[in-house]
């Protein structure tokens, strides 16, 4: 084994990370889809030549893809063993049942050769806003089998020895809406590979194959060692936690995610066997997505561990096919990547918070409110618009939750309002933080947002898969629950609220129809009556908390007006009010 000095190891690690970050930026800057170019719904990485295990992923990549693309590479390697692989081959895959997520996440995998030797695999993934199917954008809340959700592609060779298989590309583009945009995304994926090949070749020229491969092996060993050291600090035992999804979009009943987390020395066993059975609607999750959500849950709790397969080696996950977390064909899975994965991560972090209370935080907003509009604009032609949004993070010991943060599964962000208005027949009437949405606590939950869109076209359709309409993000240590999701369609004097609260498909739109979203806030941490009154006054000044909530929830009496700078805390009245509230709580 080649001996590696710490300086070389650090430089090679930094170089690998920088290369994948440059690949991310290349894909981002050349993609036609605003979901990729503005929303960062993408990832690039390097994977082991034999196992497909993740070596490194770019920092702009979605966290959920860390594990997912590893499973995708495993599926491609299995296909390559059957059919062979050569330099210049590129595999195309979006099949959830071949190590994927939902059909809209398009993946490409390419072997990397250096001087005739295959050293590793490169892979990338980006959210293509449409893959055909019964609903523009793919988020069909009423689908009952995957064949209704769009074009499903198992690992196939798009390029063979550098030659494009045009028949595959023609079939692909013929079956999706707005094919011109998707062709631009297709080229962006390939451009990212070109950058990765050039930069990785330069690194190998500088340090040599043996040194670079030895560094990869050492980084894996160190990540595993670091994760095991953290797990060893947690008292042995079984820690349970559960949460719920609103419904599957078809059967209007909650879906339960139950986790029994067992810590034994430096190993962690995650048992989801008591979760709900497979569901009829599109809220099933494939096993690759479920496992990846577990990985990122641990990564959020232990963020300093370098990303590679080593840090996940101590995690042993049991999600049997008797649950909706290990779907089998032909179960629909449109909601698995953006919604179910978040709740799995919530449950993992909740269980870890019980195992390691010093690292605990209250519940996170846990939904991105996937919303798609589709139609044909007389001036612009066919369009598919996809919007996703953030929400509030939970409070924690020592600090308030983040306002309108990215989902835990990603660093993806909302696309600019101006972009929507430029590209699609919509006007964004409101985009603001949602006051009183953060759970009350000594440390307040972060705020969600209020978004209102007006449809300007003659006709179109609206579909959405969201969650947290029935079960808000949980408070912790006496903190309050974060506000729940609210979705409604306003057509003149008519107000429509979906029967499933957060899921519906192909709702007809006409000119002037408005769609309103209110995203969840994070849960609060600690007793609200222990919050610093000055912090409550600041919250009122910033319109995070209403004056009514300041008094009724936090027990803070204010005098003066927020607008003219005269707002102050009435300390004596606050002390008296809080005293009465504490006595009442003790009596209850």
Q: How far is CA 318 from the centre of its chain?
A: 21
The dihedrals phi and psi of 481, each to the nearest 5 degrees, come to -75, 145
Q: What is the CA radius of gyration of the chain?
A: 25
Length of the chain: 588
Q: What's residue 536's pLDDT?
A: 97
d(CA 124, CA 12): 21
User: Residue by residue, what is the 3-state secondary structure of 44-61?
Assistant: EEEEECCCCCEEEECCCC
Whether residue 44 contacts residue 18, with contact meaning beta carbons closer than 8 Å, is answered with no
Whether residue 349 contacts residue 297, with contact meaning beta carbons closer than 8 Å, is answered with yes
Give the CA distances from residue 498 to residues 123, 343, 487, in Å, rounded to whole numbers and listed in that order.
39, 21, 8
Q: Classify strands 237-245 and 105-114 as parallel, antiparallel or unpaired.
A: unpaired
Whether residue 533 contacts residue 556, with contact meaning beta carbons closer than 8 Å, is answered with yes
Rounded to the nearest 10 degrees, the angle between the axes of helix 166-174 and helix 179-207 is: 140
If phi > 0 it is left, if psi is from -120 to 50 it is alpha, else beta; for residue 332 that is beta
The dihedrals phi and psi of 62, each to the nearest 5 degrees, come to -60, 135
Burial of 442-459, coded b for 16+ CB within 10 Å and e otherwise, reads bbbbbbbbbbbbbbbbee
Residue from 292, 288, 112, 253 nearest 193 by CA: 112
How many other C-beta atoms lie within 10 A of the C-beta of residue 322?
A: 13
d(CA 241, CA 484): 20
Q: What's residue 305's pLDDT?
A: 93
Residue from 102, 67, 68, 75 nearest 91 by CA: 75
HSE-CB of 383 using CA atoms within 13 angstroms: 23
What is the edge-to-edge ordering of all strands in the sheet holding 494-496? Answer: 426-433, 449-455, 514-518, 486-491, 494-496
Which residue stretches of 424-558 are H helix?
A: 533-541, 547-552
**3-state secondary structure (DSSP) of residue 503:** strand
**Each residue's pLDDT tens digit, 298-327:** 999 999 999 899 999 999 999 999 999 999
**Each residue's pLDDT tens digit, 491-549:** 998 999 999 999 999 999 999 999 999 999 999 999 999 999 999 999 999 999 999 99
Q: Which segments in the chain show pLDDT lower than 70?
A: 1-2
HSE-CB of 278 using CA atoms within 13 angstroms: 16
* Residue 318 token pair: 């049991």
Listed in order, strand segments (DSSP E) in 49-198 are 54-57, 90-93, 105-114, 117-127, 156-160, 163-164
Q: What's residue 1's pLDDT?
A: 56
Q: What's residue 2's pLDDT?
A: 65
**3-state secondary structure (DSSP) of residue 278:** coil
Q: What's residue 381's pLDDT?
A: 87
pTM, full prediction = 0.95
Torsion angle (degrees, nearest 10) of CA 23, 24, 26, 32: 140
Whether residue 496 contacts residue 488, with contact meaning beta carbons closer than 8 Å, is answered with yes
Q: Classify strands 105-114 and 117-127 as parallel, antiparallel or unpaired.
A: antiparallel
d(CA 400, CA 392): 10
Task: Give the H or E element holding residue 36.
Answer: helix 34-37
* Residue 251 token pair: 């059967």
Which residue do the tokens 């020592």 mark?
398
Burial of 153-178, coded b for 16+ CB within 10 Å and e otherwise, reads bebbbbbeeeeeeeeebeebeeebbb
* Residue 473 token pair: 């993000």
């Amino acid at each position: 084994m080649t001996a590696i000095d710490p300086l070389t190891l650090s430089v090679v690690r930094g170089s690998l990370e920088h290369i994948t970050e440059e690949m991310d930026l290349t894909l981002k800057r050349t993609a036609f889809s605003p979901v990729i170019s503005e929303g960062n719904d993408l990832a690039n990485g390097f994977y082991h030549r034999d196992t497909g295990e993740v070596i490194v992923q770019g920092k702009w990549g979605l966290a959920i893809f860390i594990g997912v693309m590893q499973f995708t590479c495993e599926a491609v390697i299995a296909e390559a063993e059957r059919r062979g692989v050569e330099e210049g081959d590129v595999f195309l895959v979006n099949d959830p049942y071949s190590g994927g997520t939902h059909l809209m996440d398009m993946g490409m995998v390419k072997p990397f050769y250096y001087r005739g030797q295959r050293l590793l695999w490169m892979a990338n993934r980006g959210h293509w806003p449409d893959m055909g199917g019964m609903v523009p954008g793919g988020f069909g809340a009423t689908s009952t089998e995957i064949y209704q959700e769009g074009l499903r592609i198992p690992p196939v060779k798009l390029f063979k020895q550098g030659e494009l298989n045009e028949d595959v590309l023609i079939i692909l583009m013929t079956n999706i809406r707005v094919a011109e945009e998707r062709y631009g995304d297709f080229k962006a994926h390939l451009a990212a590979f070109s950058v990765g090949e050039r930069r990785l070749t330069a690194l190998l020229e500088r340090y040599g194959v043996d040194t670079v491969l030895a560094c990869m092996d050492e980084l894996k060993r160190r990540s595993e060692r670091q994760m095991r050291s953290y797990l060893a600090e947690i008292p042995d035992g079984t820690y349970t936690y559960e949460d719920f999804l609103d419904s599957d979009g078809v059967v209007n009943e909650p879906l339960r995610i139950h986790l029994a987390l067992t810590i034994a020395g430096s190993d962690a066993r995650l048992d989801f066997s008591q979760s709900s059975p497979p569901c009829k609607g599109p809220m099933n999750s494939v096993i690759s997505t479920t496992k990846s959500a577990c990985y990122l849950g641990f990564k959020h709790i232990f963020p300093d561990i370098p990303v590679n397969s080593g840090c996940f080696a101590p995690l042993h996950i049991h999600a049997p096919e008797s649950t909706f977390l290990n779907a089998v064909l032909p179960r629909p899975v449109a909601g698995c990547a953006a919604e179910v994965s978040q709740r799995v991560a919530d449950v993992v972090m909740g269980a870890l918070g019980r195992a390691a209370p010093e690292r605990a935080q209250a519940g996170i907003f846990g939904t991105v409110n996937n919303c798609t509009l589709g139609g044909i604009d007389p001036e612009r032609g066919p369009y598919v618009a996809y919007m996703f949004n953030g929400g509030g993070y939970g409070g924690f010991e020592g600090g308030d939750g983040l306002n309108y943060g990215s989902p835990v599964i990603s660093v993806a962000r909302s696309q600019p309002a101006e972009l929507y208005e430029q590209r699609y027949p919509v006007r964004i009437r409101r985009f603001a933080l949602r006051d009183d949405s953060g759970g009350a606590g000594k440390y307040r939950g972060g705020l969600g947002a209020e978004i209102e869109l007006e449809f300007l076209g003659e006709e179109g359709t609206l579909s959405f898969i969201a969650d947290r309409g029935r079960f808000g993000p949980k408070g912790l240590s006496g903190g309050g629950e974060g506000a729940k999701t609210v979705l409604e369609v306003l057509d003149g004097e008519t107000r429509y609220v979906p029967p499933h609260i957060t899921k519906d498909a192909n709702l007809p739109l006409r000119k002037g129809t408005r769609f309103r979203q209110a995203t969840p806030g994070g849960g609060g941490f600690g007793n609200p009556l222990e919050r610093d009154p000055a912090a409550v006054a600041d919250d009122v000044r910033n319109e995070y908390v209403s004056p009514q909530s300041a008094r009724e929830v936090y027990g803070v009496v204010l005098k003066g007006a927020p607008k003219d700078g005269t707002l102050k805390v009435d300390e004596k009245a606050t002390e008296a009010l809080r005293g009465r509230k504490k006595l009442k709580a003790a009596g209850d």
